[in-house]
Amino acid sequence: MLDYLKTFCGRMRSTREINCLDERVLEDLGISRSGLRNLSSTPQAVMRRFTAMSTRQCVDDGALSDDLQHLSGLVSRCQSCSKTRACEKFLADPTAAAEQATFCANFAEFRRLSNQA
């Protein structure tokens, strides 16, 4: 689902395109117009870190795709995080245990989501 979302957002980079979406389409997607704008403007490096961290935390894609508005908030939190170096270092170390990522702004929510799977 995250790959689909990245592809979809890549096509929707134009604010004009997002503004032209029907409210029913947004409702079907489960996301507000501002949430979609947020996702579509997220730099690829942030999406890469977000996806890698959610995977390392054993979060199922389905848990993230169930609520795109919630996903938008998590990505936004990742985008504004000041712990980028710690994140990159953690993600580069395949031996680092998931529990060591307490620096992550989404750590608690990822843990909650991984327990729901």
In this predicted model, what pLDDT tens digit does every residue of 80-107 receive, in sequence order?
A: 999 999 999 999 999 999 999 999 999 9
CB contact set of 102 (below 8 Å; sequence gap of 6+) = none
Across 48-76, average pLDDT: 88
For 18, residues 6+ apart whose C-beta sits below 8 A from its C-beta are 12, 33, 36, 37, 40
Residue 74 phi, psi (nearest 5) = -65, -45
Give the model's confidence band at 49: pLDDT under 50 very low, under 70 low, under 90 confident, else very high.
Answer: very high
The Cα–Cα gap between 63 and 117 comes to 7
User: What's the predicted TM-score (pTM) here?
Assistant: 0.77
The more confidently predicted of residues 95 and 38 is 95
Confidence (pLDDT) at 117: 45
Helix, strand or coil, per DSSP, at residue 19: helix
CA distances from 89 to 9, 45, 57, 86, 103 (A): 27, 14, 15, 5, 11
